[in-house]
Homo-oligomer: A and B are copies of this chain.
Amino acid sequence: MTFPFDIALVWLDLAGVFFFAVSGSLLAARKQFDIVGSLLLASLVSLGGGVIRDIILNTTPAAFSNPAYLAPPLLATLLVYFLFSSVQRFTSLLILFDAGGLALFCITGTLKALSLGMNPFAAVLLGVTTAVGGGLLRDITANEVPQLFDPKDIYALPAFAGATLTTILWVTGSFNALTASVVAAVVFAFRVTAWRRSWHVPLAVRGWQRLGLDGAGRPRD
């Protein structure tokens, strides 16, 4: 470790919280929620993943022990309220900020699990859970089909890649500020490229795409 670990982890985590909070406020704007709903959705998406992580790790959730965690959702709500004006760029902005949160949370979730002594498999699982948990809560609450399950998009794989890379770097003792930045950049680029190019992976059952049948046995449209 070549940098003050705990403080850097908190700053990384806070940056991730801010990115996810903006994605929550943007979704609230699109769903025409009011400004209180915007603050609530921003808080849920940005703090939810970390709260789940810390509850599983059996520590007091960071959002409840450190008041600094309440600033990013407030800031995001105000930024979207005062600065947002275009109705065209919603989706792009939401995807970009969400990808930023994803890239940071898969690292901080994995790191916190490893530093508290979890085994590598559990650390990867918890990193992915932290990264996708807040967005899943956001989409379920706003009654959207979760991005996570969109078969025309790739969402969980970048988080899985980031959590795995973080674990490998940690176990081999080569995790530092530089390698962490590379991992975050890779996850962000993977996620955004997958969305822009509509990359996708095979469906849950082999052969249905070839047969041209959908899950109910009807011809696909």
Residue pair A149, B205 in contact (C-beta under 8 Å): no
How many angstroms from the CA of A107 to the CA of B105 in the assembled complex? 33
Taking the closest CB of chain B, its distance from the CB of A77, in whole angstroms, is: 7
Binding site for B on A (CB under 8 A): 25, 28-38, 40-41, 51, 55-56, 58, 60-61, 63-65, 67, 70, 77, 80-82, 84-85, 87-88, 90, 113, 118-119, 121-122, 125-126, 132, 136, 140-143, 145-146, 148-149, 151, 154, 156-157, 200-207, 213-217
Would you give 25 A-B contacts (Cβ < 8 Å), ordered by A? A31-B149, A31-B215, A32-B203, A32-B204, A32-B215, A34-B200, A34-B204, A35-B203, A37-B149, A37-B151, A40-B148, A55-B55, A55-B56, A56-B60, A58-B58, A58-B60, A64-B122, A64-B125, A67-B119, A77-B204, A81-B205, A85-B205, A87-B217, A88-B217, A143-B145
Q: Quick one: closest B residue to A200, CB to CB?
A: B34
Q: With a CB–CB cut-off of 8 A, which chain B residues contact A121?
A: 67, 70
How many angstroms from the CA of A22 to the CA of B126 in the assembled complex? 22
Residue pair B204, A29 in contact (C-beta under 8 Å): yes
In the complex with contacts A141-B146, A142-B149, A149-B41, A203-B34 CB distance below 8 A? yes
How many angstroms from the CA of A121 to the CA of B217 in the assembled complex? 46
Q: With a CB–CB cut-off of 8 A, which chain B residues contact A38?
A: 204
Copies in the complex: 3
How many angstroms from the CA of A25 to the CA of B206 in the assembled complex? 13
Residue pair A56, B67 in contact (C-beta under 8 Å): no
Q: Which of B33, B65, B151, B157 contacts A204 (CB 8 A)?
A: B33
In the complex with contacts A82-B206, A141-B146, A201-B36 CB distance below 8 A? yes
How many angstroms from the CA of A100 to the CA of B215 in the assembled complex? 23
Q: With a CB–CB cut-off of 8 A, which chain B residues contact A34?
A: 151, 200-204
Residue pair A205, B151 in contact (C-beta under 8 Å): no
Q: With a CB–CB cut-off of 8 A, which chain B residues contact A154?
A: 36
How many angstroms from the CA of A206 to the CA of B216 in the assembled complex? 37
How many angstroms from the CA of A40 to the CA of B55 in the assembled complex? 20
How many angstroms from the CA of A61 to the CA of B140 in the assembled complex? 23
Taking the closest CB of chain B, its distance from the CB of A159, in whole angstroms, is: 10
